[in-house]
Structure 1
């Protein structure tokens, strides 16, 4: 039985009475970009969109869909996810009122393909449901900053009603891409998901973009103390000294290396019979000859520092060696691996 016009009018009036105070006066176009936020340089926003959520971390890890997407039979989990590390940027856009999720998604998709994007996973509509839930939108949203205000109903009986803004993605009209984009010699991981912004009554699309840029993590932020050095030498015969710092291409120890030098001197004084090689290592950038020279010079700088005041370790107990890139501990194909290979080790003689 279809409701009468009188019944529809009464229902609309009842819904209006249940709205939060001030909801009727709210305007969906007054939302502004998150203060301090910015579009990512590899992908622009859909014209007229608002950057309503934004986050950026210099070093973070995230899980992205592989070619399969969600785990079979468990939409809460990604199947064998791609784990990406590096500079993480998260962007949440609200499209203009009246623009469909399909139009917004297709524009992003075409721009990415034109830029050389290589999709690893893609889905549309019902095929996206499980992978959408496996992403865990709420956990991702907690890392972001959000614009002030609410998502507003723009049409129908819910016009003017407030809906939560934070991660207002939905499985409705959902479309997703995950893959890689190469820029300036670096390969970025990129996730794109567009759907209705919460529900059909908002008459807007929501787009979430996640970009991971490979970069070297700032290493050497923790010095290895005397006990750890002793344990490493006992177990493996060597240990990497993460608290020794040099400028790129130089062999002068930086002042912040002092805690590491103190720990080395403490061990050498506690074990007067210990003799050690101080061995410098580099990545594979540059010629072998230059890296041999640099790695040896850095090892010699450490020996010189330990045998001089205030440490005054007997020079006969230490010998410097340089191995350039001949003994890597990680692949040199990425900046993360190269950072691990640039190190100075203490090796028991």
Structure 2
């Protein structure tokens, strides 16, 4: 896989910070406010009373993203920061300092290519777009933990041309004081609850691909254990081909995903075969140059639904189109 080059730092520092009542609450310790940049708005939130989360603890090592399994109340939130010009470091730096000031220990800090680029992004849990957006060439990740193990934290920061994005995942151990939610829907009317990435109309994939950077090709179906793409025309492939023909400078990675039945190695191989079959169909039936398409497989590492139900497993058997840097 090609090494993704690290984006150059951008200029123009964004000044004022405002409190969004994000707290790191520990028994016997006063709630601590984590300030996000001015113009921040919560746009996605999923809070689970008892769940598990694989906390990233290291960059992609060539095989996987090292993680530490943690359990408790899991809060997943995404924020959009209005306005261009602010860099990912300018977003993350004051947040990192606030975390350190409260006595948390850093377990991971890396940036885009140093994290592992594409492999890190798709080897970690990310809230779906449009709530969270990740530029594969311009993102930063940080993981930290309370010294007593009562809470763990992961931050993922990225940006588009017009906005900055921050994802905050917090895991509070059973018996510890749960963290206070970041604001309310009443004071942030644009907030949405986004537990999974819902597929769009197969013929309308160009807009989310352009604005979010990736999109599910929702009319492709794969049975458990099969890499064969069905016969007939697929509206999503026709729409993707139209988009690529209209934008000859664009490159797209096709990323296969599976349900959780079987071993990880087998599922990664299967998901890569599925992505390759979609690539082959775009080349042979739609006339897209093979050099503009990559095919990758993530196995079951990035589910969008529970693997405990047939409906969830079916949703997880999918191929996504990911817009690559020009």
TM-score normalised per structure 1: 0.34
Q: Which has the higher helix share?
A: 1
Rg comparison, structure with higher value: 1
Structure of greater relative contact order (alpha carbons < 8 Å, 6+ residues apart): 2
